[in-house]
Amino acid sequence: MNMEQKIKSILREVADFPKEGVVFRDLTPLLLRPELTSEIIDAMAEPFKDTRIDAICAIESRGFLYGMLLAHRLQVPFLPVRKKGKLPGETVAFTYDLEYGSATVEVHLEDVQSGWNILVHDDLLATGGTAAAATELMRMRGADVAGFSFITELTFLGGRKRLEQYSTNIISLAIFD
C-alpha cells in the first residue's frame, strides 16, 4: 500500500462537522500510529532534501502536530503561526478574508530571519487562504517560501492554484478530488 492509500485508509471522515454539509477529514487516528507518523514525516521531508530549508512555518493548530516533527527531522527551527492574540511577544500580523468575515494570523517578530527559505506546513490544503496568509507573514519579514507541505488536499477547492503564485513546490500526501 502506498502512502496515500495508507493515509486514506486511516483518516476518519466525520459528516456534517463543523457544520452541515461538510465532511471533516480527521487526522487524529494517524497520531495513534507512531510508525506511520514516522513514514509520513519521511514522505514530507524527501521532496525537499535538495532544497535549502531554513525553518518550518506551521499553522495553528493541526499544522503543529506534524510541522514540529518535520522541523525536527530536517533539523531546522519551528515557527508557529497562530491566531491573533495567542503569542506573548511582539508579533507581525496578517489579516485575510474568509468565506464569512476575516481572520488574522501572527508570528513572533524576531523569529523569522530575512533571507530564510521557509517551508510552510499545514495538515490540510483546502482553499489555500491560511497558507497564503502564513506566506505573506514570512514575506513581510523578508523570508522566501521554498514550498508547501500538507498531509491532505481537497483539490475541488482550488487551494493549490492559489499557492502557486508563491511556489510550485507543493506536496500533498493524500488527494481528495
CA atoms within 13 A on the CB side of 174: 21
Compute how many other C-beta atoms are within 10 angstroms of the C-beta atom of residue 82.
Answer: 18
Locate 63 and state its grid cell.
499544522
Is 62 tagged catalytic? yes
Is 13 tagged catalytic? no
Structural element, H or E, at residue 44: helix 34-45
> Active site residue: 20, 35, 90, 99, which one?
99
> Active site residue: 4, 39, 62, 73, which one?
62
Task: Name the nearest CA neighbour of 60 among 113, 115, 137, 1.
Answer: 137
Task: Name the nearest CA neighbour of 163 among 78, 10, 72, 59.
Answer: 59
Which residues are catalytically annotated? Answer: 62, 99
